[in-house]
Amino acid sequence: MKKILFVTHTISMGGGAEKVLNTLIDELKEDYQIDVLEWLEDTACPFWERDKNVNYLGSIAYTDRKASSLGKFIFLNRLKHKFWVITNTFFPGLMHHLFIKDKYDYEISFNYLYTSALVNHSWNHKSKKINWIHSSIDDLYERGHKYNLKYILYRFIQHRAFLKSNAIVAISKRTHDSIIHFQSDVKDRVYDIYNGYNFDDIIKQSQIHSVDNTCTFRLISLGRLSNVKNVILQLEAIELLRARNIEVELLILGEGEQKGIIEEYATRNHRIKILGFRSNPYPYIAASDGLIITSFSEGFPTIAVEAMALGKPVISTPVAGTEELITKDTGIIVNWNAEDVASGIKKLMSSYYDSDTIKQHVSQYTKERWAENVKCLLNSLDDGK
């Protein structure tokens, strides 16, 4: 049985990429021995070894929350994390020797930058190295980052990793285009493989318990409460609508560094409800009228596919994946400003969306088709294609 190593930024924070990796592992575990190494371990959704063919190798570093739960000093934890980041940046081969002891047929970086550097400097020269990119990498060459020392270093790390890779997986058209823009000489190594989802499980989980409905139009927002997810823009749009006597309820599921700021908004508007992290968000999605995403960057938003699988329209900023997912029949794309988001919400409220049409639009993204595409890629690498 061939062996796969997944090196991922995190698999324990409970986000979209983590769900995707767990689904992929479940689809591949009958045919491959799978090991998982996590860069940053959290407490939200710990990884579990559900099969004899799946092995968790642990993590390189801890989030503050994980460190606190283990009784470690936060300052020392951050210092240790920075030490490993610096070591990985300048001596990735040494990092590989320290943390990866076994030999694998395939070594897969399930993210870019740190994990890419680690995998593509493997001491095992016979393994096939794969970079799995989950978002557009436009941030590496944005105008404001062109002469920023940190981003110059980031670009160097990723250029070097791509050159050493056997394959680069893009999960959306935007991701594909950003990779080619960043490094055109690797275009022959880029494979488009869209994520797959367990639709039966999503529907089943959505029926486990009910969530009270109200007469107010309800939007749901899910994900990490961080700057890149830009949830504050949603709050600003809700406030604009409220000033125009248009009431909208917003359920926010997630944790993160911006939670305090968001809680301040909630004290001024009882329609904004912060529910924290939920391991099963699907009953809340099912009880909502639509999903809202205002991120600055996404790869192929898992939560959008999950909401659409439950027949819900999506209002989103133009992140990667929206080209494939959002049409006039499935939702609305808005710009990154409160006025446009407010107008989009108002339009969503007054429009009719057929839930069966929405479900049908994402029905192609099955986990079975996805697993077959991944296996085909692995086989083609073995054949030297």
The CATH number of residue 221's host domain is 3.40.50.2000
User: Which residues lie closer than 8 Å to 223 by C-beta, 6 or more apart?
Assistant: 15, 16, 229, 231, 253, 254, 293, 295, 303
Instruction: Give 354-380 pLDDT, tens digit per residue.
Output: 999 999 999 999 999 999 999 999 999
Residue 317 contacts residue 335 (beta carbons within 8 Å): yes
In eight-state DSSP terms, residue 257 is: T
- Are residue 246 and residue 189 in the same domain, yes or no? no
- Are residue 24 and residue 129 in the same domain, yes or no? yes
- Are residue 179 and residue 258 in the same domain, yes or no? no
pLDDT bucket at 257, cuts 50 / 70 / 90 = confident
- Are residue 296 and residue 177 in the same domain, yes or no? no
- Are residue 205 and residue 147 in the same domain, yes or no? no
Instruction: Give 23-65 pLDDT, tens digit per residue.
Output: 999 999 999 999 999 999 999 889 887 788 999 999 999 999 9
Residues of the domain holding 258: 199-362
At 244 the pLDDT is 94
Q: Is 217 exposed, middle or buried (0-12, 13-18, 19+ CB in 10 A)?
A: buried
Residue 124 contacts residue 103 (beta carbons within 8 Å): yes
- Are residue 286 and residue 346 in the same domain, yes or no? yes
At 175 the pLDDT is 93
**Counted domains in the chain:** 2
- Are residue 172 and residue 130 in the same domain, yes or no? yes
- Are residue 41 and residue 154 in the same domain, yes or no? yes
- Are residue 189 and residue 211 in the same domain, yes or no? no
Of 212, 343, 211, 188, the C-alpha closest to 281 is 211
- Measured distance CA(276)–CA(350) in Å, rounded: 29
pLDDT bucket at 274, cuts 50 / 70 / 90 = very high
- Measured distance CA(356)–CA(352) in Å, rounded: 12
- Are residue 322 and residue 376 in the same domain, yes or no? no
- Are residue 181 and residue 217 in the same domain, yes or no? no
- Are residue 36 and residue 50 in the same domain, yes or no? yes
Residue 385 predicted with pLDDT over 60:
no
